[in-house]
Amino acid sequence: MNSPNKIYDLSFKRMIRLSGKMLVKFVNKVFGKRFPLDSEITFLDTNTVNKDLKVYEKDLYFIICGERFHLEAQVYYDDMLIRLFNYAVSDEEGYKRIDDSHAVFKMPQQAVVFLKDTDKSKDKLYIKLILPDEQEIEYSVHAVRSLGYTPQELIANDMEILLPFQILRLYSSVKKYSSFSEEQKNEFLEKFTSMCRDIITTLRSLKGTGKITNDEHSTMITIIRDLEKHIYSSIDDIANKGADSMLNEEFLFSDERARAEERAKAEAEEKQKIAELMIEDGECAEKIIRYTGIDVSVLKIHGSVTRKSTYALI
């Protein structure tokens, strides 16, 4: 990808690595698998160098239950299919020598996610390989058209991993906005507000039903906001007229909650240290509880405790 599009690439990588459960659900849906949602995922080396010293940067190469998968994110059309084929055949892990005259090469299972495409009916990419002696093989990879789904449909289809990229839905209007009439601009802003509402409402539902954690929610809203700023920053009316107010409120709320959790964690760690010092000084359990609020019977001590401590610690 070109440098201006790096944010899409990085955002996709962050989402795919954010939650093992979400990734397994996505793989199950796209590739027709039935892996347990708690399956272990092993991410592999993402760079491959060919004989011409050209580096192929694979977005994500990973193993689930012994099967190899490769995902790519794409913003604009280019030579993606041939690049996917090059990635696959450069994967030495798939090669196995049988004897002096036979070998087997098993290609990884691949899919490309088109972040700005809407036609979800085009769910495969094909390339015909014409081999010597008129042999022909049709090679195909899965294709996911991210904007072919509404936020609610993504959840229903176990593809919530793509939810942040719903913010791209109005990207095609950005360059046209300055030439819009006042009526067209207001219509765009209404659509933008509705888009943000759909995304945030769906995200809240995921968190409310326990399908994502607070940390995952925080990361997802950060990715959404970063993408929004990147794509729509040239349209001042979005901020001036409050079209993104719901998105900003969710981000600020998430940020404040994260700060509160960090403060609470720091306070708990400080009380833990104080309790440990009091135990080492031989203070009684009642005093430790009074000053720290920590019950020494359930206090976890890291490292050794001096012999002054007579409490049963776990």
- Residue 281 pLDDT greater than 90, yes or no: no
CB-CB neighbours of 163 under 10 Å: 24
d(CA 65, CA 287): 52
d(CA 142, CA 109): 9
The residue type of 210 is G
Could you identify the residue written with the tokens 């010293």? 53
Which pLDDT band holds residue 5 (cuts at 50, 70, 90)?
Answer: confident
Element holding 299 (H helix, E strand): none
Instruction: Give this prediction's pTM.
Output: 0.75
- Is the Cα dihedral 219, 221, 225, 231 positive or negative? positive
Identify the pLDDT of residue 192. Answer: 95
Residue-wise pLDDT for 47-66, tens only, equals 555 445 455 555 588 999 99
The half-sphere exposure of 302 on its side-chain side, counting CA atoms within 13 A, is 3
Phi/psi for 157 (5° steps) reads: -105, 20
When mean pLDDT is compared across 117-121, 191-195, 259-263, the lowest value belongs to: 259-263
d(CA 24, CA 18): 11
d(CA 162, CA 154): 7
Could you identify the residue written with the tokens 């994110």? 73
Element holding 4 (H helix, E strand): none
242 compared with 273, residue with greater pLDDT? 242
